[in-house]
Structure 1
């Protein structure tokens, strides 16, 4: 194939006409660059904010993880592929579909586990009592929380679409603290992100205070 035909096919041309879409997995707002994973090929591509087409968009947009970009890929840079001619898309509907595909079997199993856990908790409550039901419910919820942390760690290794930190912190706040702390230590997940750790320990502190207040009701008075 000749050089001309190669350029026509879009190979080796920094401005190939073929556009693709991907989701941002990392972005450094101070230095203005990050990485985007191509929707179909899972290729990891570098991008700089200066490649966003609109100057107005450059000044107001923060392509944080999860934001959808439309772009061309420049394969001629010796440092590796980079995104050019970038536009920021409203990709909320696309991301919902992507989340559903990413959940796959894991999502079905997690939902099934929660349903079965809820049924088991209700049965224990009827058969034995409220205290036993709460204990079983906490075990089930901690299992679910552990699965959330494990899944998010798996996606981070593969540079995939991540779970929102609010989901991890929410599961922790609703009773999954032992599993959350255990998974953070076991698989070394979210241990370097100071804001996340501060939020986590704030939840632990509030929960500990609530437990102490509850236990104080059983202390002898006078």
Structure 2
């Protein structure tokens, strides 16, 4: 997904700031997952699952997915994974909408900011 975003921005199919936003949010989300995993190992105060889901929902889901795989964090808890997949589908639906004819006007408007 991140590769698609970068290529879309490179070929001016998407505003550059959308690709940058996803990259930044994914990096921040990965770091938050890493920190939560570290806190879990140390039996210290954790980051709430709600916060993890919010970061995934606002665009950090690629970083969350990567963290779940690489760090083995939150990868076995079924209710968490179900909500995570809903955040991923919501992001993909928005992305597909932006690429559709209906989203073209919004993309043109957003492009003026990049």
| Same fold (TM > 0.5) | yes
Higher relative contact order structure (alpha carbons within 8 Å, sequence separation ≥ 6): 2
Alignment of structure 1 residues 22-101 onto 2, 5 Å: none
Query: Tell me, which stretches of 5 or more residues in structure 2 are unaligned?
Result: 1-13, 103-114
Q: Which residue does the alignment assign to 2:68?
A: 184
Pick from 161, 186, 193 the counterpart of residue 77 of structure 2: 193
| TM-score (normalised: structure 2) | 0.71
Q: Which residue does the alignment assign to 2:97?
A: 213
Q: 1:205 to 1:134 in 2, by over 3 A?
A: closer
3-state secondary structure, aligned to 1:192 = coil
| TM-score (normalised: structure 1) | 0.38
Instruction: Write out the 4+ residue segments of structure 1 that deviate beyond 3 Å after TM superposition.
Output: none
Pick from 161, 178, 181 the counterpart of residue 45 of structure 2: 161
Q: Which residue does the alignment assign to 1:141?
A: 25
Determine which structure has the larger strand proportion and give its number.
1
Give the distance between the partners of 2:28 and 2:40, measured in 1 at CA. 18
Pick from 86, 91, 106 the counterpart of residue 202 of structure 1: 86
Q: Rg larger in 1 or in 2? A: 1
Give the distance between the partners of 1:136 and 1:206, measured in 2 at CA. 19
Query: Tell me, which stretches of 5 or more residues in structure 1 are unaligned?
Result: 1-129
Determine which structure has the larger helix proportion and give its number.
2
Report how many residues are paired: 89
Alpha carbon RMSD of aligned pairs, Å?
1.7
**Deviation, structure 1 residue 156:** 0.7
